[in-house]
Amino acid sequence: MSKLEHWTKDEKNQVLKKSDEERLCKLHDEIAQSIWRAQYHIQPVTGLLNDPNGFCWFKKQWHLFYQWFPFGAVHGTKHWYHTVSHDLVHWQNLGMALEPNLVFDNAGCFSGSAFPKDDYLYLLYTGNHKENDGRRIPYQMIAAMNAKGSVTKLKHPIIEPNEAYTEHQRDPKIFYENGTYWMLIGAQDHQQHGHLILYKSRQIAIGWEYAGELKVKGYPYFGTMAECPDIEKIGDQWILLFSPQGYAAKGDEFRNAYQNVYLIGDLDLNALTFVPNGPYQELDRGFDFYAAQCASQYIYKNTAVMVGWLGCGDCTYPATDEEGWSGMLSLPRELTIEDGRLRQNPIRTSEQIKGEKIFEALHGSIMTDTMHGRTPAACVIHVDDPDDNAFELGLYSQTLKKGFSIIYEPNHKYFTIDRGDLENQCNTMYGTDRRIKLENGLKSLEIFADHSTVEIFINHGEYVMSSRIFPKPSEHLIRMRGKDISLIVWKANSTVADDFKI
C-alpha cells in the first residue's frame, strides 16, 4: 500500500513481531534518505512518534521512551520505544520497550511515566483494552525494567477503571511525596468534562487506592479532557502541567488544535487541593507542542527537565506522512520559576549542538538580503539586543519568498512567526502565524533549526515557540534585516543516532 493510502482497521491494529524486522528495516532505509530527518532531535526509527513517556534518570543514564506505531505515519496500536543518553544531547536507540501483548493492553500501551527504585525502573502506563464490540476499557499497568534493559510486565492491572469516569482515564504520572507514592491521571466525567484524579499507595506495584479528584482553585474542570498530566516541585513551589482539550482560541492564545498548559502554585495532598498563583499559561506559543513530560530525576537541583512532542493530535504532516514516518520530540528544556512565571531554556548541555561558526555580526547592521552560499538545514542562531529596531529573519527562504519568517516590531512589541510563505503547508485551518506581545521588549533569541523543526527561545526562556516545517531543497537561504544587533549562526552537529533498532 502507498504511504498515504487509507489504512484498514486490521492494518492499524498491527503489533510488532520478530518477522516484521526485515520490512521495517527496508522502511527505515527509505525514510533515512528524507531531507526532513533531524540531526539533533529524537525521531521515530519508522512509523509514528507521539507522546514522550517514562522520562527519568536511572543507573547513570537518562532514559526516554515515546509512543510508537512502527508501521506507518498513522495512530495505530501504540508501543513504547526506548532511547538513552548520558547528557540529554547525544541519544542512542535501544528498541522497543513495551509491546501490547496482554489482554489488558490488547489495543495499545498508552502513555505513562517511570520511577526508579532500587535496581529497577518501574514503567507505569495505561493499557488500552478493546472489546470485540469496540468498547474501550482503560487499565493502569506497571512493568519493571532491570539494569540490563529487560522489561517484565505485571500481568494484571494495578488500578481498575473508575466508574465515575468514562473510558478516558489515562496517562499516569507517578511521584513520591512524604512517604507515599502518588499517581496523577487525566480523566473525563460522564458530562464530558476533563479532570485530574489521584491514586496513592505505600508500595509502588501494589496497594493503589483512589484518593479523589485534585481540586484546582478556580477551575471546576478542564475542557472536555485533560491529557498527559504532570506535576513537579521546583524549589518550594509546584508546577502542574496538562494538555486540555476542547478550548477555543482567545486572541493570540490557544490557537492550536489542542493546548499544553501549566499552572504554578501550592499543592496540599492532605486536602487534595492545588492553589495556583494565576491563570494557566501555554507552555509553548508556537504551532506544534503537546504532551510535555518532566523527568523523574535528582541531578538538576531546583530545576525540572522537560521534553514535549513537536506535534499535536488531529494534526497531519503530509510531507513526512507520505514517506512513512511522522513526529519528533523537542529538545530537553530546563524549567525554573522567576517572578511567578515559568522560564524554559535549552538544556545546558545543548552547547554541544553548536558546530562550525559560519556567520557573525557583532553590534552592527544587517541589511543583506541573504547569506553567502547555501545555508545548512540544521543550525543554531543566537541574537542579542534587537529591541530598539525592527528585526526580521527569514529561515529556509528562496528568491522572492520569505520562508519561515521571524519578525519583531518594536513599536508595538509584537513578536511574530509565520510559516505561510513556505511551499509545503500543514494544518492551515489553525492559521499560519503565531504572535506574542513582549511587554518588556525583545532582548535575546536562541533559535534551533533542524531540517523540519524550529524551536525559538525568547528572552532567556520567557517564551518558547516551536514549529514543524518542511522546506524544499530550493528553500535554503537565510534573510536578515536589522540594525545594531549581534547575530551568530553555527552549523549544527549530529547528536542523535538514526540507526535501526527494534
As given in the structure block, the three cell numbers for residue 244 are 486540555
Instruction: Work out the angle at residue 190's Cα, subtended by the Cα atoms of residues 188 and 194, and round it to the nearest 5 degrees.
Output: 25
Degrees (nearest 5) of the Cα angle 60, 62, 66? 150
Q: Does domain 349-492 have CATH number 2.60.120.560?
A: yes
pLDDT tens, 205-228?
999 999 999 999 999 999 999 999
Give residue 232's Cα distance to chain centre. 16
The whole-angstrom separation of Cα 161 and Cα 296 is 26
51 labelled catalytic? yes
Contact 94/117 with Cβ under 8 angstroms? no
Give per-residue pLDDT as tens, 326-383. Answer: 999 999 999 999 999 999 999 999 999 999 999 888 776 555 544 544 678 999 999 9
Cell 513520591 belongs to 176
Asked if 122 and 113 count as a contact pair (C-beta separation under 8 A), the reply is no
* Residues 6 or more apart whose Cβ sits within 8 Å of residue 95: 81, 82, 501, 502
Phi, psi of 41 (to 5 degrees): -120, 145
* Cβ-based neighbour number of residue 269 at 10 Å: 16
Q: Look at residue 3 in the predicted model and tell me its pLDDT.
A: 56
How far is Cα 327 from Cα 329, in angstroms, rounded to an integer? 7
> What are phi and psi for residue 367, nearest 5 degrees?
-120, 5
Amino acid at 315: C
**327 CB burial (10 A radius; 0-12, 13-18, 19+):** buried
Expressed in angstroms, the distance from the first to the final Cα of the chain is: 22
Q: What is the structure's pLDDT at 387? A: 67
Determine contact, residues 158/144, Cβ cutoff 8 Å.
Answer: no
Topology of the domain comprising 48-346: Tachylectin-2; Chain A (2.115.10)
**Distance (Å, whole) CA 487 – CA 479:** 12
pLDDT score for 368: 52
| C-alpha dihedral sign at 102, 103, 108, 109 | negative
Cβ atoms of 24 and 14 within 8 Å: the answer is: no
The reported pLDDT for the residue numbered 2 is 43
What is the amino acid identity at position 228?
C
**230 burial via Cβ count (<10 Å: 0-12, 13-18, 19+):** buried
Percentage of the chain beyond pLDDT 90 is: 88
In sequence order, the 6+-apart residues with CB closer than 8 A to the CB of 227 are: 170, 171, 186, 242, 243, 244, 245, 258, 291
Q: Where do the CATH 2.115.10.20 domains begin and end in the chain?
A: 48-346
Please tell me the number of Cα atoms within 13 Å of 351 on its side-chain side: 2
Q: Express the helix, strand and coil content of the chain in percent, nearest 5 each.
A: 5, 50, 45
* Low-confidence residues of the chain: pLDDT under 50: 1-2, 369-370, 372-373
Start-end ranges of CATH 2.60.120.560 in the chain? 349-492
Which triple of cell numbers denotes residue 306? Answer: 522537560
The pLDDT value recorded for residue 369 is 47
* Cβ 16 vs Cβ 68: under 8 Å: no
CB contact at 8 A, 52 and 307: yes
Which member of 29, 51, 268, 421 is catalytic? Answer: 51
Q: pTM of the full predicted structure?
A: 0.96
